[in-house]
Chains A and B, each alone.
Chain A
Amino acid sequence: MKFTLSWLKEHLDTDASLEEIVERLTMIGLEVEEVTNRADRLKPFKIAKVLEAEQHPNADRLRVLKVDTGQGEPVQIVCGAPNARAGLVGVLGKPGDHIPGLDITLSVGKIRDVESFGMMCSERELELSDEHDGIIDLPEDAPVGVDFAKWAGLDEPVIEIGLTPNRPDCTGVYGIARDLAAAGLGKLKERSHEQIRGNYPCPVSVSLDFGDTRPMCKAFGLRMVKGIKNGPSPKWLQDRLTAIGLRPINILVDITNYLTFDQGRPLHVFDADKVHGNLVVRRGRAGEGIDGLNGKSYELDDTVCAIADDNGIESLGGILGGEPSGCTEDTVNVLIESALWEEDDIAATGRKLGVNTDARYRFERGVDPDYMMPGLEYATRLVLDLCGGEPSETTQAGRVPDSSNIIDFPYQEIRRLSGVEVSQAEANLTLKSLGFWISGSGDTVKVAAPSWRPDIEGKADLVEEVVRILGLDRVPLTPLPRTGTVGQKVLTTGQIRRNRTRRALAARGFNEAVTWSFISKPQAELFGGGNTALELANPISPEMSDMRPSLLPGLLSAAQRNADRGFGDVALFEVGQVFQDDSPEGQKMVAAGVRRGTAKLQGASRHWSGSSTGVDVYDAKADAEAALAAIGAPVEKLQVHTDAPGTFHPGRSGCLKLGPKNALAVFGEIHPRTLADLDLEGPLVAFEIYLDALPQPKTKGGRSKGALNASHLMPVRRDFAFLVGKDVKAEVLLKAARGAEKTLIADVTLFDIYVGQGVPDDQKSVAIDVLLQPRQKTLTDEEIDAVAKKIIANVEKATGGTLRG
């Protein structure tokens, strides 16, 4: 919403400075977005008169002008405008002046061998309008040598406010003045519009015809003024409109635009001689269309509210008038419309047809219903004053709805919600100055909201009105009381797990990424998702169409993006949500990571201390186990299965499970087919940890870690090497060794695997280091031998292998 300072002062009697007004507007909720003054950038431009206009010797379309600048010798200017002629009074830009509409700074130029010392400007070049058919052509008596902007009334601040959707009353300058007056910044000049007596009945009738469907128009007022003389508007009216970026058209149209911005009351004018028969307000019909005053055509249907006559559709009610019945300078008889439309229908139609007009903007927010007929009277007054003519009586269809809303208002509510003490008298004064009515006395009164405030619903709204106008800075800062204890643990188990995973993975050299929650359908399908329940109806692009079933597609693509930028050795992780279905329970928290190239734990790429090789499945397994350990999973008890999803390399991937069914994590190298499907280059390894799958920690029991059971006796180490079949899993062998004598065996480490010379082709040699920790007394050689025999027997039995001699 834009307006000029002088326009505001038409309704507000105030001595306040521009700065005070701007500050107060913002502080009462009418946020000032910008204050501009077009004169600032038009300062250099002066009014100048063309004395001579000769044909350019070397160009048919150019003329060489002698221009009187008001001082000194006339200057020579080459000009291509068709209207350049001797005697024209226009606007001159001189060398060194910046032309805002062209964003260039003038210099002395030579055009086809003739020197030019400036430029006669068009309206577009000065950003006054889009007009560029010729140079500005001022009245002959415009004073030569004078500042153009000042003379044209452009030297004025234009204030633009960002209006919140709840304030339709401030879509007009008058409403803004009322708010400022209430806030103590002057006195509102009350509006009053005389009722104009018509000399004859309105010859065109209007009816609302919605049959048995829901009416889209509440009420419709109409009046004819005949015998008028239309033409260009007077300068004051043109200036007002151009200052806020509107283009003056003719008096009748300009009056409707003026009232739209002055009173927040949109109107429409029909050329009565182009209206055939009476007007009917009804739903549109399929096949009907309209050529709008904005130069565009629209197709109608029964969701669109139209005004029709015998010829067809003449107007999109409350949004846009039709071109055929529009008013031109030749209009002699005019029909003035002031109507009330259903807000939601206006919004829906506007969206559907893609029409944004100043009328729609106001009607969809809700214009003052009680001002429908006064607005018509005001418009008539202006038409009579500016165009003359003879008014008819008004005619009205429908009924202006009763908008009154009476609220029980306990004054105590102000303190309860805002925390500020306001006297009853102060509250009353504030509400009354905004147009509220108050009746009753005592601690609770009845308050009625004015018709122009459809946003006022209950007592909380009244509190806002009072506090808003008195100033939010009056509310004292009040410390929120402490809850009576020292800080408590506030995070849930899930939140704690996410935090720990995050920092554990970052401590392993990973960079945390945040990738989109939605991925492409092919990616979703590849990772087990893609069902229609998780597909967006209106995705922003096909790459972001489906909720992700896994974090891996996003991370794998991110790794590739980095590689494409020349950084191929990356370790990325994300902790975030994945979606199994569309229920709240189907949203799971997952941590996932990828390593690419040579980005191993100890570092990437080549180094004098030892170069890094390509990442492999064991890197991913180590990451998964580290992250699981960080969230308190019993890593030593987890089973390693080999049934990872098909996106992983079947022989180089695994699944960490707590019990046979509860998978906590998967890890492995990415399947070459997955790489090809996603257009990725490896080596790429990945893991994914299902944070919600780990059971809740037991909360019972104290925090004691128990006594340390460290023996004072020296531990004993023994090495064993076994020849076992190539397929024998290490875990089987280790479990057998550990289980041989649980009280003595403290640890078993697998330190060597060998295949090759000396070992049969279908076998491997596996060497382990067993740590025996005596508890009671030092072990004798016999006791050690006995344990060793048990270990050998157990391992041979479990693996079918033999001790390597």
Chain B
Amino acid sequence: MSNLDNLESDLLAAIDGAETETALEDVRVHALGKKGRISEQMKTLGKMTPEERQVMGPALNGLKAKITDAISARKDILAEAALEQRLASETVDVTLPLRPSPAETGRIHPVSQVIDELTAIFADMGFSIAEGPDIETDELNFTALNFPEGHPAREMHDTFFFNEKEDGERLLLRTHTSPVQIRTMRTQEPPIRVIIPGRTYRCDSDQTHTPMFHQVEGLVIDKESHFGHLKWVLQEFCKSFFEVDDIKMRFRPSFFPFTEPSMEVDIQCDRSGGEVKIGQGDDWLEILGCGMVHPNVIRNCGLDPDVYQGFAWGMGIDRIAMLKYGMPDLRAFFDADVRWIQHYGFRPLDLPTLFGGLSN
């Protein structure tokens, strides 16, 4: 039996000493191969007496099983070590910075984003979006809106005009989005609820004025909408747009040719900290003009002002964008400086909704 004990310890030592899978295989062949040392011993069983065989048989089989297990265990260890080594060799520097995806670097201009915000708010109140051309007639930009002849706005210093045509007509760049009110009332049966965002133009260029800017206008025409509704619509709009729970508003009588009565609206703000905060403090900030649509305007659209009534309001999109998002200078809106767009712009997937919040 001591032979077998020696064999076992020899083989186990060889297995432990095998440093590679190849060496281990050599050990396996040496032990268990056809001519391996255990196999050779197995062959001797046939020549043994039954008694000897009864002893040696289980002993050899036991040895074979033990060696097989040892080889298998060693194999696992070697495989594990090989994997460890491979993994170690495959290590990379994960602190290396990567290129941002284009969806992260692209930006939507604040004017577009604010128009989407306005759309989300007013669509919820049943308004749709009306639009009209930038190049307008004098009739739609002024006359139909009850601007008297000789009104200063009709002169060259306020309005961009095109050259007079042979038939005497002189087109202009709309000075406000209000001509779309006329276009809407003339083509659409009341009840009407529209907002009208768009580009507008005036001959003006200084710190706070640009020759092109954006306005949004609202119009409601039906048989019962009155100033109380207008107040509610504007209050709800301001709360929703500026994303505050409550906001104090002040309606002051004012004058516009196309509304009667006419009002200007101030909202509560706080100027103490250097930047304007909406919806807090006890200062006032003028934000929009509004009023009941003037009977002459309703009449000019072919409707009877004793039957139909309604209200309109208008404000600067660029201006409310500045108030909400803090841009200090209107002129930068139109300069296309990528640093400005990156800073004040919005991510392409940040679509404003009422259910998810207008901004994040």
Contact = CB atoms under 8 A, between A and B. Distances in A.
B212 to A, nearest CB: 6
Nearest to B171: A582
Contacts, number: 251
A635 interface: no
Interface string B80-102: 00000000000000001011101
Contact of A544 (B156, B211, B335): B211
B226 to A, nearest CB: 4
B337 A420 contact: no
A29 B254 CA distance: 5
Interface in A130-173: 164-167
A491 to B, nearest CB: 6
A76 to B, nearest CB: 44
Interface in A8-29: 26-29
B244 interface: no
Contacts of A463: 260-261, 292
Interface residues of A, number: 97
A534 B109 contact: no
B139 interface: no
Contacts of A513: 109, 336, 341
A124 interface: no
Given A480-B233, A538-B203, A416 B109 contact: no
A509 B336 contact: no
Contacts of B220: 480
Nearest to B116: A499
Nearest to A459: B295
B162 A537 contact: yes
Contacts of A570: 338
Q: Which of B170, B212, B339 has the most CB of A within 10 A?
A: B212
Interface in A482-507: 482-483, 487, 490-492, 495, 499, 502-507
Contacts of B33: none
A164 B261 CA distance: 13
Given A417-B226, A516-B212, A567 B339 contact: yes
B309 A417 contact: yes
Nearest to A557: B336
A507 B349 contact: yes
Contact of A344 (B102, B108, B125, B150): B150
A587 B135 contact: yes
A230 B149 CA distance: 43
Interface stretch (B51-59, B126-134, B268-276): B126-134
B99 A609 contact: yes
Given A31-B252, A506-B107, A547 B135 contact: yes
A534 B162 contact: yes
A778 interface: no
A579 B233 CA distance: 35
Contact of A561 (B211, B337, B342): B337
Interface string A503-525: 11111111111111110000000
B235 A477 contact: yes
Contact of A587 (B109, B134, B164): B134
B262 interface: yes
B108 A483 contact: no
Interface in B104-136: 105-109, 111-112, 116, 119, 123-129, 131-135
Contact of A490 (B127, B162, B203): B127
A472 interface: yes
A467 B150 contact: no
B351 interface: yes
A528 interface: no
Interface string B196-220: 0001010101000001100000001
B345 A512 contact: yes
B295 to A, nearest CB: 5
A12 to B, nearest CB: 19
A674 B211 CA distance: 27
Given A165-B255, A420-B228, A572-B336, A464 B260 contact: yes
Interface string A413-435: 00111111000000000000000
Contact of B348 (A507, A518, A558): A507
B253 interface: yes
A730 interface: no
A516 B333 contact: no
B351 A567 contact: no
B334 A516 contact: yes
Contacts of A576: 199
A348 interface: yes
Contacts of B351: 503
Contacts of A464: 253, 260-262
Given A490-B128, A572-B338, A507 B261 contact: no
A747 to B, nearest CB: 25
Contacts of A508: 102-103, 106
A555 B261 CA distance: 43
Interface string A162-202: 00111100000000000000000000000000000000000
Contacts of B109: 512-514
A547 B160 CA distance: 11
B155 interface: yes
A464 B254 CA distance: 10
Interface in B208-255: 211-212, 220, 225-229, 231-233, 235, 250-255
Contacts of A506: 103, 106-108, 347-348
Given A477-B232, A482-B125, A514-B111, 9 more contacts: A419-B228, A480-B229, A505-B106, A507-B349, A511-B107, A533-B163, A572-B336, A603-B100, A609-B98
20 contacts: A27-B252, A29-B252, A343-B150, A344-B149, A417-B227, A417-B292, A419-B226, A420-B227, A460-B295, A463-B261, A467-B261, A477-B231, A480-B233, A483-B126, A502-B112, A503-B351, A505-B106, A517-B173, A533-B165, A539-B160
Q: Which 3 A-B pairs have the closest CB atoms?
A: A29-B253, A419-B228, A509-B102
Interface of A: 26-29, 31, 164-167, 343-344, 347-348, 351, 415-420, 455, 458-461, 463-464, 467-468, 472-473, 475-480, 482-483, 487, 490-492, 495, 499, 502-518, 532-540, 544, 547, 554-555, 558, 561-562, 565, 567, 570-572, 575-577, 579, 582-584, 587, 601-603, 607-609
